[in-house]
Chain A
Amino acid sequence: MAAGPDDLKALADRAVAEIAACADDAALEAARIRYLGRKDGEVTQATKQIATLPGKDKPAYGAAVNEAKARIEAALESRGDALHSASIDTSLRESIDLTLPPRPLRIGRLHPVSAAIRDVSRIFGSMGFETIEGPEIETDYYNFEALNIPPGHPAREKWDTLWVSNPLGDDPKMPLLGRTHTSPMQIRVMEQRKPPIRVVVPGRCYRYEATDAIRESVFFQYEGLAIDEKLTMADLKGVLYSFARQYFGSQHNVRFRPDYFPFTEPSAEIAFSCVICEGKDPHCHTCGGDGWIEAAGCGMVHPEVLRRVGYDPERYQGFAFGGGLERLAMVKTGAPDIRMLYQNDLRFLESF
């Protein structure tokens, strides 16, 4: 005998009571499946029986099924809500010691030299200087001759050179060397482009030199070159002043004093005001007490250099500058010894 509407009411009563007693989400889900499950739920089964009923009984039975289903769904929802808010209440009463250490996670960092290269590119970039790069293994021509330093020139002693031998055969007409400065890129850029030119060139350089706390035989430099028809020493000073303010802070300044490079005339040495003592400590290790950190060389591009790349020095003029990247990073961060940058002790690198 088929079940009647009364059976469905009893089924719903039983289900509602059971649902109200569910202690957690899992029990609630089990109850839902028991009554409303798509395959074997009791209400689902009851629904399937509608088809077997005589026509006259169908409406009443159908209504009873719908009502039972609605009551059970409402009970499920209400119990669900109650369980959810109870669990929130429980969770809110909980307190965890957040001073416990976190899950171990590796933190990656850029090497300070890479970071300094980016700073240099970004800051000079903001003044219209395009960052370019060039070969580290160079020819004597670009490293010296084209920069107005012919063979035997006394100024060569300023750049003690590491000479490079090619295992595929040395070409006596093109001796190779580790570029002693980034300045060869002045020539390469001017050979390839026409004024106006504004470029900055970061890169690795090499010198035959004993290493100490401030000197390395393998090191990085940044080079700047700007050529057009009206650039002056005052523009050069302005660009470097602007750099110092952005890199070290707005209170910083630059000082120029005469210096000598065969590829600039007039030439200057650039000093930045001391970041560490700001000129207040007569025993400062960073600046030696005079408040200035000698950081780079610069000057107006020598007319001979312009002539060599086919520029008319009567029409074009401009400036170049070049300095040690490590020096910038060391001064800014207080790193005491250039060699530490390349020993790659992670305890040191992680301190940046």
Chain B
Amino acid sequence: MLIRVPLSWLREYVDVTIPVDDLAHRLHMAGTEAKGIERKAWDNIWVGRVAELVKHPDAERLWLATVDYGEGRRKRVVTGATNLRAGAIVAFGDVGAQYIDGHTGERAVMKPKDMRGIKSEGMVMSEKELGVGEDHDGILLLDDKLPVGAALSEVYAETVLMLELQPNRPDCLGIVGIAREVAALLSGKLREPGGEPLGKDTPKALDVRIEDAVACPRFAAARLDNIKIGPSPDWMQKRLIAAGMRPISNVVDITNYVMLELGQPLHAYDLREVKGGTLVARQARAGEHLRTLDGVDRALPPGTLVIADEERGLGIAGIMGGEDSEIRPNTTTVALECASFDPRSIGPTSTKLGLRGSSGSAAARRFSWQLSPDLVPLALARAIQLLREHAGARYAGTVDRYPHPRPAVDVRIPFAKFARHLGMEVTRDEAIDALKRLGFAVTQAGDALVARPPAVRTDIAIPEDLVEEVARIVGYDRLPIHLPDGPLPLVEAHPLEEFRERMRDALVGLGLQETVSYSLIDPQWLGRLTADGSCIAPEPLRIQNPTTPAQSAARPTLRASVLDTARRNLRHRAGVGIFEIAPVYLPREHALPEERWTAAIVLAGHAHPDSWLGSARDTDLWDMKAVIHGVLTKLRTGDGGEVKPGAPGLHPGRSERRGSGERDVVSWGQLDPRVADLWELPAASFIAELDIAALLAGVAPPRVSPPPRYPAATRDLAIVLDEATPYAAADEAIRAAGKALVESVTLLDVYRGPQAGEGRKSFAVRLVLRSPDSTLTDAEVDRAVKRIEGRLLHQLGATIRA
């Protein structure tokens, strides 16, 4: 959580003896992340006094103000502001001053300009123009006591530390908590704000009752009479603004002020509206509604803790007050609530009500962390003190219910443990000193120390916590660099991952660019992978709370992702050759989904561009088959298994699907042209998908053989076959008939025409025959070729052309 710490406010509790940049750095390096330092760039802006104020002669709504800004300097300003009066002390922006345009919110620089015939030589500035608030209705009227002619940045500006807190440090939600850190780092003294102890007086006609002591471990309320509602003092308003809150009225401002100071939120009720005079912390009833301060009527979800009176809900505990009981201008008696709530109740309730994070109230964000119940009496006493001083309040007692007080935490740590965990020596004195500076009560017990954290620290429970506390004060920079020298574990084999990486390398080696796209996709994409919108993959896992519909399903196929990548790239290039290797997510009942590693390849558009060595050519099926054949050969996998009918989403006559059982292992081919149209892809779009684990299962171990010792014989054959007979059948027949003698079969030509005959085709193939044991004689070769020809004839009805 980001908090704003005005430096002057911090200084009230601790002496800051180093420059603010150094302070920010020291805090940062001790664990309080410094996000930045806000300083006002108020060059050319001065404290001015309106010396003279007259109407513009030619404009009904404009005034001419002559502003005196010291050392005899005077300028005339044309202004439309209605709250100016002669003698007012204002922020005067001279020519060159930077300001925020009240209408556009943009940064601008003051230039002289002509307004209805009169030149305006500067500006009297609003809160908004100065960047200190939102008000742009009138000019910011400054304290009459500010010295005219002083640079505004010197008397009014506030330097603000922007600190990002971690949820284990609710104590730092208050500026006093930050001051405690600063005091520890600078070895300074912490000045905690006062407030008389509450005493034992209980108020009349005010009580509190806890009905759920888990959700509300402590509940206190003070009664304050004689309240006079009005504005809070100027200094308080300035601090609230600097810390990022809007002043409202003295009572509300004081509760906010104490919250910013100590971290503990408080809530003020008009006691007239508390029916029965009892504040009750209870669970919301079924169907209960409440109109909150922001005017919204909210249905309270189960598990919501409400603060109620005997009749109705008054507010959502720790999150937002109700409209009914809010402080009004005529409020005179206040019930001031100060309580502890369980973050495990507040956090989820805030989420359910949509009041989490930056949209939530400042109180809710604080109560989502584990605030110390010990803050309750401190914050209440402090608020009472301020209400007496600034709202005329008369204190009429407090009721404080705390059924199970948190025991003090004493943590024991052997001194040796510091070195055992940190790997560096920390002396006993250093450890004790660091903890004492952080406000711990420390006692030494033999070879150990016992530390009791300040009551507001809820994050300290175990010895390791003390190790960190000491280390961060000593400084993490002091940690030495050392390499582990313990025993090394045995390492397991990872065949799938290794195979997958070899596939990645193989595809890269084939000239394809690897892509990595979002694993969450638009589920609508899945309906665009086939011509009829049917699915090629199982129903996907859905994201319940997607950041965008475009990332609302865990992809059950890579196809949509790679088609999208191809489509976007083909807008600016003629061809793509890409692949992606990633898991697809396949739902399983009562189990984590299967994450199945898959490769998807797309070749589309031009196979290569125009060049002086040849003109461009469209990608074709054989380019894709070359890639698949290349990668499967390189990885020594099988071909993927049995051919299965039809590959959904691909061209029915130009695709192949192989696999075993339910599982598709290799699918490839031309994208169905109707699908290509849906994705704005060219007709020459080819896709392949490989199931990596299934291919790994088919990998044959290498059969290493020495290079052949005897010469080969080569024979060419022209085989005429029916059009319907696939080439693979001929290839298989040749190998089966030629047995081990067939070393290779190369297809040289496919011919269709008169010499093949109607409905027939001719394959010209070159056979290389070789025996591992001897040089083949012509007769042996002839016999083998005869066998092959015979098999082709009988099995496939082939004729052999001379």
For window 332-351 of chain A, which residues contact chain B by CB distance below 8 Å?
A: 341-347, 349-350
- In the complex, are the beta carbons of A136 and B504 less than 8 A apart? no
- In the complex, are the beta carbons of A257 and B344 less than 8 A apart? no
Stretch at the interface among A2-10, A223-231, A274-282: A223-231
Over the window 404-427 of chain B, the binary record of Cβ atoms lying under 8 Å from chain A Cβ atoms (1 yes, 0 no) is 000000000000000011111000
Q: How far is the CA of A230 from the CA of B587 in the complex (A)?
A: 42
- In the complex, are the beta carbons of A196 and B487 less than 8 A apart? yes
A108: contacting residue among B29, B488, B511, CB under 8 A: B511
CB of A98 closer than 8 Å to a CB of B: no
Q: How far is the CA of A238 from the CA of B538 in the complex (A)?
A: 47
For window 488-531 of chain B, which residues contact chain A by CB distance below 8 Å?
A: 488-489, 491-492, 494, 497, 501, 504, 507-520
Max chain B C-beta neighbours (<10 A), residue from A150, A230, A232, A266: A266
Closest to B462 in A: A303
Stretch at the interface among B162-170, B239-247, B706-714, B727-735: B162-170
A contact residues around B754 at 8 Å (CB): none
- In the complex, are the beta carbons of A349 and B513 less than 8 A apart? yes
Q: How far is the CA of A197 from the CA of B368 in the complex (A)?
A: 36
CB of B328 closer than 8 Å to a CB of A: no
Q: How far is the CA of A211 from the CA of B504 in the complex (A)?
A: 28
Closest to B520 in A: A218
For window 249-274 of chain A, which residues contact chain B by CB distance below 8 Å?
A: 255-260, 262, 265-268
- In the complex, are the beta carbons of B31 and A257 less than 8 A apart? yes
Q: How far is the CA of A100 from the CA of B611 in the complex (A)?
A: 11
For window 536-554 of chain B, which residues contact chain A by CB distance below 8 Å?
A: 538-547, 551, 554
CB of B295 closer than 8 Å to a CB of A: no
B contact residues around A23 at 8 Å (CB): none
CB of B205 closer than 8 Å to a CB of A: no
A contact residues around B249 at 8 Å (CB): none
Closest to B565 in A: A344
A contact residues around B488 at 8 Å (CB): 128, 196, 198
B626 to chain A, nearest CB (A): 12
CB of A103 closer than 8 Å to a CB of B: yes
Q: How far is the CA of A208 from the CA of B351 in the complex (A)?
A: 14
Q: How far is the CA of A262 from the CA of B347 in the complex (A)?
A: 17
For window 575-622 of chain B, which residues contact chain A by CB distance below 8 Å?
A: 576-578, 583, 585, 587-590, 592-593, 595, 608-609, 611-614
CB of A311 closer than 8 Å to a CB of B: no
- In the complex, are the beta carbons of B472 and A163 less than 8 A apart? no
Closest to B548 in A: A217
- In the complex, are the beta carbons of B547 and A259 less than 8 A apart? no
Closest to B561 in A: A344
Stretch at the interface among A27-35, A54-62, A82-90, A166-174: A166-174
Q: How far is the CA of A350 from the CA of B343 in the complex (A)?
A: 50
- In the complex, are the beta carbons of A346 and B578 less than 8 A apart? yes
- In the complex, are the beta carbons of A168 and B480 less than 8 A apart? no
A contact residues around B296 at 8 Å (CB): none
B contact residues around A346 at 8 Å (CB): 513, 569, 573, 576, 578
- In the complex, are the beta carbons of A108 and B545 less than 8 A apart? no
- In the complex, are the beta carbons of A266 and B464 less than 8 A apart? yes
- In the complex, are the beta carbons of A152 and B343 less than 8 A apart? yes
Q: How far is the CA of A260 from the CA of B172 in the complex (A)?
A: 14
- In the complex, are the beta carbons of B483 and A137 less than 8 A apart? no
A contact residues around B510 at 8 Å (CB): 108
Q: How far is the CA of A226 from the CA of B519 in the complex (A)?
A: 29
CB of B320 closer than 8 Å to a CB of A: no
B443 to chain A, nearest CB (A): 22
Closest to A217 in B: B547
B476: contacting residue among A101, A133, A135, A256, CB under 8 A: A256
For window 313-351 of chain B, which residues contact chain A by CB distance below 8 Å?
A: 342-345, 347-348
- In the complex, are the beta carbons of A234 and B480 less than 8 A apart? yes
For window 187-232 of chain A, which residues contact chain B by CB distance below 8 Å?
A: 193, 195-198, 204, 206, 208-211, 217-218, 226, 228-232
A342 to chain B, nearest CB (A): 6
B contact residues around A101 at 8 Å (CB): 611-612
A338 to chain B, nearest CB (A): 12
B752 to chain A, nearest CB (A): 31
- In the complex, are the beta carbons of B422 and A232 less than 8 A apart? yes
B459 to chain A, nearest CB (A): 8
Knowing A258-B31, A266-B421, say if A130 contacts B592 (CB, 8 Å).
Answer: no
Q: How far is the CA of A300 from the CA of B504 in the complex (A)?
A: 35
A16 to chain B, nearest CB (A): 33
CB of B680 closer than 8 Å to a CB of A: no
CB of B370 closer than 8 Å to a CB of A: yes
- In the complex, are the beta carbons of B422 and A233 less than 8 A apart? yes
B541: contacting residue among A155, A174, A176, CB under 8 A: A176
Number of interface residues of B (CB under 8 A): 99
For window 118-167 of chain A, which residues contact chain B by CB distance below 8 Å?
A: 118, 127-128, 130-133, 135-139, 150-158, 162-167
CB of A47 closer than 8 Å to a CB of B: no
CB of A109 closer than 8 Å to a CB of B: yes
Q: How far is the CA of A208 from the CA of B509 in the complex (A)?
A: 37
CB of B471 closer than 8 Å to a CB of A: yes
A193: contacting residue among B465, B467, B489, CB under 8 A: B489
- In the complex, are the beta carbons of A235 and B565 less than 8 A apart? no
A contact residues around B802 at 8 Å (CB): none
Closest to B370 in A: A154
A contact residues around B199 at 8 Å (CB): none
- In the complex, are the beta carbons of B487 and A167 less than 8 A apart? no
Q: How far is the CA of A62 from the CA of B281 in the complex (A)?
A: 129
Q: How far is the CA of A139 from the CA of B554 in the complex (A)?
A: 15
Q: How far is the CA of A302 from the CA of B501 in the complex (A)?
A: 34
- In the complex, are the beta carbons of B480 and A259 less than 8 A apart? no
Q: How far is the CA of A136 from the CA of B542 in the complex (A)?
A: 14
A179 to chain B, nearest CB (A): 11
B contact residues around A171 at 8 Å (CB): 590
Max chain B C-beta neighbours (<10 A), residue from A105, A258, A260: A258
- In the complex, are the beta carbons of B515 and A139 less than 8 A apart? no
A contact residues around B546 at 8 Å (CB): 162
CB of A106 closer than 8 Å to a CB of B: yes
- In the complex, are the beta carbons of A206 and B520 less than 8 A apart? yes
Closest to B589 in A: A168
Q: How far is the CA of A60 from the CA of B166 in the complex (A)?
A: 113
CB of B482 closer than 8 Å to a CB of A: yes
Knowing A137-B593, A165-B543, A176-B592, say if A238 contacts B516 (CB, 8 Å).
Answer: no
A228: contacting residue among B471, B486, B539, CB under 8 A: B486
- In the complex, are the beta carbons of B518 and A342 less than 8 A apart? yes
- In the complex, are the beta carbons of A232 and B589 less than 8 A apart? no
Closest to B543 in A: A162
- In the complex, are the beta carbons of A233 and B511 less than 8 A apart? no
- In the complex, are the beta carbons of B513 and A165 less than 8 A apart? no
A contact residues around B103 at 8 Å (CB): none
CB of A114 closer than 8 Å to a CB of B: yes
CB of B701 closer than 8 Å to a CB of A: no
B592: contacting residue among A139, A195, A347, CB under 8 A: A139
A114: contacting residue among B423, B481, B511, B514, CB under 8 A: B514
Jot down 16 A-B pairs with beta carbons below 8 A, ordered by A.
A108-B512, A132-B494, A136-B585, A152-B344, A154-B168, A157-B167, A167-B542, A208-B547, A218-B519, A232-B420, A233-B421, A233-B424, A233-B471, A266-B422, A266-B472, A300-B421
Residues in B lying within 8 Å of A, measured CB to CB: 28-31, 166-170, 342-345, 347-348, 356-357, 368-370, 420-424, 462, 464-465, 467-468, 471-472, 476-477, 479-484, 486-489, 491-492, 494, 497, 501, 504, 507-520, 538-547, 551, 554, 565, 568-569, 572-573, 576-578, 583, 585, 587-590, 592-593, 595, 608-609, 611-614
- Having A104-B609, A110-B514, one finds 13 other A-B pairs with CB under 8 Å, namely A101-B612, A110-B508, A136-B595, A137-B592, A151-B344, A166-B589, A167-B538, A176-B592, A232-B423, A235-B484, A256-B479, A260-B166, A342-B516
